[in-house]
Homo-oligomer: A and B are copies of this chain.
Amino acid sequence: MTKTHRAGPLFIDLYELTMAASYYAHQVFSTATFSLFIRYNHLTRNYFVAAGLEDALNELAGFHFSEQDIQYLKTTGLFSHDFISYLAQLRFSGDVRAMPEGTIFFTNEPVLEVTAPIIEAQLMETFMLNTIGFQTMVASKAARCVHAAKGRPLIDFSLRRTQGQDAGNKVARSTYIAGFAATSNVLAGKIYDIPISGTMAHSYIAAFDSELDAFSAYSETFPENSIFLIDTYDTFEGAKNAVKAAKAMKKRGNSLIGVRLDSGDMADLSQKVRKIFDDAGLFDVKIFASSGFDEFKIEKVISENAKIDAFGVGTKVGVSADAPYVDVVYKMIRFKDRDVRKLSSGKITLAGEKQVFRKSDQNGRYLKDIIGLKNEAIPETEPLLEKVMEDGKLLRPNPSLQAVRDRFKKKFSQLDEKYKSIHNIVTYPVKLSRGLQELQDLMAS
């Protein structure tokens, strides 16, 4: 399967390279460990869904400066000839421990730890943060929508408003992990093998002499795959035209899949449109709705008894509109056999290589997490970080997207309902182990 193209090593903040140049000049090559975590939950995100690891690992595994990259670095005039030669042969040779994609996690828990010679570990910072931060943010937003939809299928319609091209594909992938049924993004369909879905736009209706002509024409092209957009002129007239077209389709032995509402009071319109179809005996015609949906609007229209069978969810999920970034950081927590702690104002980092231990009840329901030391043993808990890369080599193939999606579904079912609230902050218990706490106390003293 084709994937999105690699970012390459120039997808990097310049300071990673200037620091590396200085390490190189001073022959600082010792091993460091960096920990990636979400520092602060600035809005109502009671949980996060890990996503982006596959892209992160592919980038690490393929890390190298091309001849063109090297040429550009020379033109900057910032780096010595020796350092540039060093970069030209550099590959990533480190180890990575990480939570598998689809894992539920919480603020302050390490999602990924990179252990490598300090230059290599440092150079990975920008891409790791970008790709895991963004994909996790979108998967988490999408999970909230899936929860709010109570089993109704959701389709990613965000492509036209995602923040650039790469975002469009990653949104399709991340929302699919969180349980979306399909995407409108054809390229994502191709590269990730996600089901693709689409209907028609208002312009299609306007291109024909009448709405009924448009519906008829479309149903001839897609006799078993038609969803009519019915709000171009008047939603109820549109529904009546859809009934006419659907009956004509029936006569030909086909059936209309559904209609789409894209404006107006969704609960009220959907009830009235449902009645128009039911009165015509078209009980199987589904009602799709789009236009500004996110978890809040989905919950609202369902609570108002909307007769909506599936939602097209676009912009607000594609950019995570209510929380368009996460405070994700990548901090050095061990270097040269000593643990490292950052203490600058308001931004404390826990020293030491870590593991997250999850305790569940006998039914698998999550009870609490304990952030501990990497090599600590905490009985009757599940360690969440797994070693996925050693000496720069993947230890096993990445799981299929379907496997990640299945994993999320199972894990999400083990999270108590109260944490799934989209309105209230309900803090899942995350403690530090005695070993980790003692290490922090030791370092603060």
Contacts and interface: CB of A to CB of B under 8 A. Distances in A.
B340 A206 contact: yes
A76 interface: yes
Given A19-B200, A233-B344, A332-B206, A76 B189 contact: yes
B222 A163 contact: no
A260 to B, nearest CB: 10
A190 B10 CA distance: 8
Interface residues of A, number: 101
B203 A344 contact: no
A162 B161 contact: no
A6 B28 CA distance: 40
A26 interface: yes
A207 interface: yes
A225 interface: yes
A411 to B, nearest CB: 25
A125 B160 contact: yes
Interface string A342-382: 11111100000000000000000000000000000000000
Contacts of A335: 206-207
A231 interface: yes
A129 B161 contact: yes
A62 interface: no
Interface stretch (A240-248, A276-284, A320-328): A320-328
A257 interface: no
Nearest to A329: B160
Interface string A202-233: 11101100000000011011100100000111
Interface in A111-158: 118, 122, 125-126, 129-131, 133-134, 157
B13 A160 contact: yes
Contacts of A4: 165
A120 to B, nearest CB: 13
A198 interface: yes
Given A14-B198, A22-B217, A222-B18, A161 B190 contact: no
Indicate the member of A169, A196, A328 with the most B CB atoms within 10 Å.
A196
Contacts of A11: 159, 165, 168, 185-187
Interface of A: 2, 4-5, 7-8, 10-19, 21-23, 25-26, 28, 32, 34, 68-69, 72-73, 76, 78, 118, 122, 125-126, 129-131, 133-134, 157, 159-170, 184-187, 189-190, 196-204, 206-207, 217-218, 220-222, 225, 231-233, 235, 262-264, 315-316, 318-321, 324-326, 328, 331-332, 335, 340, 342-347
Contact of A343 (B130, B196, B233, B319): B233
Nearest to A262: B344
B160 A162 contact: no
A8 B185 CA distance: 12
A60 to B, nearest CB: 15
Contact of A332 (B196, B203, B222): B203
A324 B163 contact: yes
Contacts of A122: 201, 203
Given A32-B207, A325-B315, A218 B22 contact: yes
